[in-house]
Amino acid sequence: MSPPTAPATLADLTNASALAIHRTMVRIRVFETRVTELFAAGELPGFVHTYLGQEAIAAAVCENLTDDDYITSTHRGHGHAIAKGMGTDRLMAELFGKETGANRGRGGSMHVADFSLGMLGANGIVGGGFGIAAGAGLSALHRGSGQVAVCFFGDGGVNKGPFHEALNFASVKALPVIFVCENNQYAQFTAISRTSAVEDLAIRATAYAMPGTTVDGNDAGAVYGAVGTAVEAARDGEGPSLLNCVTYRHSGHYVGDAEVYRTAAEVEQWKAADPIGRLEAALTATGWLDAAGVESVWEAARAETAAAERFAASSPDPDPGNALDYVYTPTGEVGP
């Protein structure tokens, strides 16, 4: 399949929302590019899955949300965290395993969370977010809060049992949940075409009596519009939706993956259809941004990531004496 390369669609976007999405996408790109370098240089413990190439989805989805709304994320969660408002300094510090990290160094790349922003955590288990998002939606409904929950997941997640369990339940109870599939076409190392009975994953929504839409996931404006419709329906009590956002992972499954399962030509083809390039083509064509404006966004992102790295590198490690903190809630401490 050759990727779409047309400039992004701006029809549903205002100047402000388009520029905000662009800024977020660039910030994620620069951050993840540096994370890749840091990991390769042995600066980061553990392993990392980067969001390179999928930036349009997190940025455009979260532009539709308020700080009170919830998201559940995946092992590839840095982009979601940034788009939901997490500071890159606290995110980078978490990747370094530092006490100043978002999770005080207890979580790492696959578990970054900020509950004050409704970011209910990246999740190291494929499909781990389905039921959590449904539960958050149930909670919002129970409290009458008007919040929605977005469940991000990959094409690998759709073959997990909890996908079906959660979509069914969300539909039965008309929960305010938007299921956003980031279909980057590979579940770990295996092409989705080899593991899913239906190629167009939006079809699966039919079985659960909810709207299902396939979107060009590298077109930030298209994602923004489709998610906007789904969020509005969720807030209006019309229940959940499934969005199949087709995109492509520029990097391997994790940094260091030998990528023997796909061709270099395929990767190059998709990199040429880069979502940031497509958005910038649209923005400069309409005059919402000129070349100097584009460059200043990238420059600001580079400065931000450099500052985040300095903050992380210079932050203290967690005290090993506190390794058992946070396993249980101290008696008397009020829960959420």
Partner 1 sequence: MKRMSFGQATVDATRLAMRADDRVIVLGEDISWGGNFGQFRGLLEEFGPDRIIDMPISEALIMSAAVGAAMTGLRPVASMSFLEFTMGAMDEIVNQAAKMRYMSGGQVSVPLVLRASDGILRSSGAQHSGSLEALFTHVAGLKVVAPSNPADAKGLLRSAMDDDDPVIYLENKSITAKRGWVPKGDHRVPLGTASVVQKGTDVTLITYSAMTLRGSDAAALLAFNHGISAELIDLRSLWPLDFETVAASVTKTGRVVIAHEAWLTGGYGAELSARIGEELFADLKAPVVRVGAARAPIPFGPPLESAVVPGTDAIVDAAVRVAG
What residues make contact with partner 1 under the rule CB under 8 A?
70, 72, 101-107, 111, 113-116, 120-121, 123-125, 128, 130-140, 142-143, 149, 161-162, 165-166, 168-169, 172, 325-329, 333-336
Find the shortest distance in angstroms from Cβ 128 to partner 1: 6
Contacts of 156 (CB under 8 A, 6+ apart): 126, 127, 186, 187, 188, 192
Specify the residue, 313 or 323, whose C-beta has the smaller distance to partner 1: 323
Find the shortest distance in angstroms from Cβ 96 to partner 1: 14
Specify the residue, 114 or 304, whose C-beta has the smaller distance to partner 1: 114
Residue 47 has phi, psi (to 5 degrees) of: -145, 160
Specify the residue, 170 or 276, whose C-beta has the smaller distance to partner 1: 170
Find the shortest distance in angstroms from Cβ 61 to partner 1: 18
* Contact between 44 and 69 (Cβ < 8 Å): no
- Phi-psi domain of 181 (left: phi exceeds 0; alpha: psi -120 through 50; beta: other): beta
Q: Helices marked H in the chain — which ranges?
A: 15-40, 55-62, 78-83, 88-95, 129-143, 161-172, 220-235, 264-272, 275-286, 291-314
- The 10 Å CB-count burial string (b at 16+, else e) for 106-122 is bbbbbbbbbeebbbbbb
Find the shortest distance in angstroms from Cβ 268 to partner 1: 37
Specify the residue, 112 or 227, whose C-beta has the smaller distance to partner 1: 112
Find the shortest distance in angstroms from Cβ 47 to partner 1: 16
Find the shortest distance in angstroms from Cβ 157 to partner 1: 13
Specify the residue, 53 or 108, whose C-beta has the smaller distance to partner 1: 108
Specify the residue, 124 or 228, whose C-beta has the smaller distance to partner 1: 124
Specify the residue, 42 or 335, whose C-beta has the smaller distance to partner 1: 335
Find the shortest distance in angstroms from Cβ 153 to partner 1: 13
Whole-angstrom distance, CA of residue 68 vs CA of residue 147 = 6
Whole-angstrom distance, CA of residue 190 vs CA of residue 129 = 21
Calculate the CA dihedral of residues 123, 253, 308, 129 and round it to 10 degrees: -20
Whole-angstrom distance, CA of residue 110 vs CA of residue 44 = 13
Residue 134 has phi, psi (to 5 degrees) of: -65, -40
